[in-house]
Amino acid sequence: MRADPITGRRWWVIGASAGLGRAIALELAAGGASVIASARNARALEALAREVPAIAPLPMDVTSDASVRAACDEVGAPYGIIYAAGAYAPMSARNWLPGQAETMAEVNFVGALRVLSHVLPEQVAAREGRVVLIGSLAGFRGLPGAIGYGASKAALMHLAENLRADLGGTGVRAQIINPGFIRTRLTAKNTFAMPQIMEPDAAAGRVLAAIRKGRFATSFPAPFAWIFTIGRHLPLALFQAMFGRAPGFRDGAGNPPDKDPAP
């Protein structure tokens, strides 16, 4: 019988100060793991550690090489790492805000590269481990109003496929988990209806279930996720037209993609 990848294991959750990352850290601790929780917000991490003694706070800024290097030196080789750091701002190409896309790319994708460049060699040397990247349904195909965010999540999904291709036989397994809408401070920025929006604790339960199953890719919630997984095989114009007509989806200025922005 396959050993439980959570109970008695040491996991590092990055992006654990709020939202899904915080909920994942709590679920891991409840499942018997020892958890290292990282984010920029040291005060929020300390509060989390006071709540659950199995969680150790380790402040880190994924956009800083020095901060990441110092944290990785302290952590060493955890059995599992979950990259859940996230930045999001709804933005259309017609209303591009300088710096926003760059921030989303740095936090959502480049930060994962920084961390893995230190942690992954340690896991490979130990010949065991998990790398779990938290992607998004928004990474499957280009959507209206998702400049920066969608591209960064698509890059993370591609990275996971690279890892899967390279890590066979090393004892280290890569997984990509693509949630839909989760009720967090990030999705609070949206002004449109969000189908099948989930609470963070419910989404964290799905993440841990996916880790235990060991499947490479998991997307949820169904049936909303089916639109994206099936949509990868549709002509792009048809896929984008579906979201352009849907009342819940608009670009970052509130316009359907086939309409000119208001003056």
Would you state the pLDDT for residue 245?
52
Average pLDDT over residues 55-83: 97
96-130 core/surface letters (b: 16 or more CB in 10 A; e: else): eeeebbebbbbbbbbbbebbbebbbeebbeeebbb
CA distances (Å), origin 111, targets 74, 115, 156: 17, 6, 10
CATH number of this structure's domain 10-245, picked from the four choices 3.40.50.720, 3.40.50.740, 3.40.50.10330, 3.30.2130.10: 3.40.50.720
| Mean pLDDT, residues 80-88 | 97
258 pLDDT higher than 70: no
The pLDDT value given to residue 2: 62
Return the pLDDT at 21: 98
pLDDT at residue 250, rounded to an integer: 46
Preceding amide of 144 cis, omega within 30 = no
Catalytic residues: 149
Cis peptide bond N-terminal to 221, omega within 30: yes
Q: 19 with 86: CB under 8 angstroms?
A: yes
Question: Is residue 259's pLDDT more than 90?
Answer: no
Q: How confident is the model at residue 247 (pLDDT cuts 50, 70, 90)?
A: very low
Distance, CA of 16 to CA of 207 (rounded, Å): 14
Residue 244 is predicted with a pLDDT of 67
Residue 254 reports pLDDT greater than 80: no
Given a cut of 60, whether residue 17 has pLDDT beyond it is: yes
Is the pLDDT at 145 greater than 70? The verdict is yes
Strands (E), 204-260: 217-220
Query: Tens of pLDDT along 175-218?
Result: 999 999 999 999 999 888 899 999 999 999 999 999 999 999 99
b vs e for 135-169, b when ≥16 Cβ sit within 10 Å of the residue's Cβ? Answer: bbbbbbbbbbbbbbbbbbbbbbbebbeebbeebee
By the 10 Å C-beta count (0-12 exposed, 13-18 middle, 19+ buried), 223 is classed as: exposed
Q: Residues 26-45: pLDDT tens digits?
A: 999 999 999 999 999 999 99
